[in-house]
Structure 1
């Protein structure tokens, strides 16, 4: 199956089954056009309202429409309400590449902007939209769907599972000390416009190293760098780069400073984004941030659960690290998804996969060779005699896909049934912790 590209997905119609289900409730489910000023503005205002944000002004609407042109927008409309032009529910998506174990990428449906107006909750609107989006993506040939969530309990019913956790750090920088290397090269301030130019280049050079990372649409780089005309407090963003002894840029960091009026020596630094191509770049940038003058604490979010930073500071107790769910995945095509990644150990497994949405369920034979590559086929009668039997839901298969959670852990939790949990866990494990460095 050849996955569809974003240009084709962008113009795909809504799912007919979901459209019919909502029409019975006198609700219209349709796509939204970026080219129609009023249609787009109404969708954006509804989306902002759904996230309890302020109403957008004309400049914000124009900027958002330009930078989000890659997104496929859908909405649900109530013609009987006082504002029939404004959707009562929103969703956006686009096709992006997800990094999988083995340094490869697979085309995936990135879902965002999911809102339902408080006036229209518990009417099956969110279910119809999400199920429709997943059915449409599967029909288009996309093997995976992905999202980051505001509420972690909402998406399991659709087959999503947390597959890459993130770590939030708070570091007492004076206490932390530095035991890491003094990297060669240099760290310098650069303009925000320059860091906006450099980030996508550097990200594309490193994103295939970490399972869970994705292609980043341009609108996010403008948000990170504070270069969007409509961004709040963009001028607070400071940017530095690390160049190696040859003069090549190998790392970038963004940070903001919040002063402390009661004690000027205890400002708070927040690091929303740090990108390093080499170990020297990583060490040089973190050392710079932890040795800033007049700073009491340094915070950073969306870091890996296995950051080398913990071993670069003298006092590990100076760092408070909080781990939580972050990148959610939902497999839409079991053979395509499982054949795309690399495995840690050979094995032969018969998979009985259940899927409440009837998108990707079935019986499959996962045959992993000694080189870590796999073939996956529909299971035929008598074909699994020498295979380890595994029964699991699509949710659990999605959870273990990046190697961030052990199948043995899920078996002990009663979520995976298998005759050899150790063998299954050994094969699906991966030596690099999955991560995703931003929200979308």
Structure 2
């Protein structure tokens, strides 16, 4: 049996006025999902335990069968694992975003763009290397990641009550109070002040400004934590496989879960990602092993940006360029497979941030399922199917055990 987990990050939404009160999932052309879902069972799964932040870190950890209550220590340690950065016991990892902020001159700080105009990986690497050269020390080290997503490792202790927030939760909002948190740590206070001047003078930003693009004029630290201790998926569930994603967070989960992490050239985490390469990488994994996870970030990014039409495109591309080629090739191979299409969390366009609502998904089995839904895959249809069959699961761990046929679940 082959197990295929396809995740459209942040794909869930609520009716959008600009889409004739449809959700992007309802508005998008999704012929392959429309073919599979009626023959599948539909599930509603709580991926974010009560009291936990509804981030992709918690939600995807949950979808991979790990209980966040046991294994979650923060987002950045997962990204450190992806980059091959080993954290010592006295080190704390932070996600380091390259952001674009605005200072009106009255003491306020406005978060304009959490992604610096989706700066390229090549451009941002130059900026992070420059910051490391000027600001790196025995207490602070910076590592380049993908696009605007990078890593900072801090050696030391944080003051009691210290907290950070994700910049994508505060687009076009004042963040002065959150910025003041960094002033509580002497190393960060110096880093923040020096980094803005270094970024302002860097040739990469000068060229972006000349081209009318948003510059990366500041850094933003968040998602801090220490290295978690995790068993591999093989030890927990007896399965071997691989993970395909453009996002360091997901790659880190794969590393810690003992999966083979496949780097796909041109995988960007946005609408221009290399879909064909990701689909082929998944099929290559399935030719050798019994499990693959494919993660697509674009629906989440467009949700954070509040872009309705672009989110519809992201969902349609997910179906046409990930689900379709994988399913068609598996059917051609004639091997039995179980396939799940899901989101990790909702990212409603009107909110431009994550929600912790239980996520709708469908589970297709090439051998057939006991209670086929008879419905296409939309948020409303899954809710209706679940009301009829009562197939609600209270954790991602229970979902994953059911997915790999180690638990029957609620019937």
Q: TM-score, normalised by structure 1?
A: 0.24
Structure number with greater Rg is 1
**Larger relative contact order (Cα-Cα within 8 Å, sequence gap ≥ 6):** 2
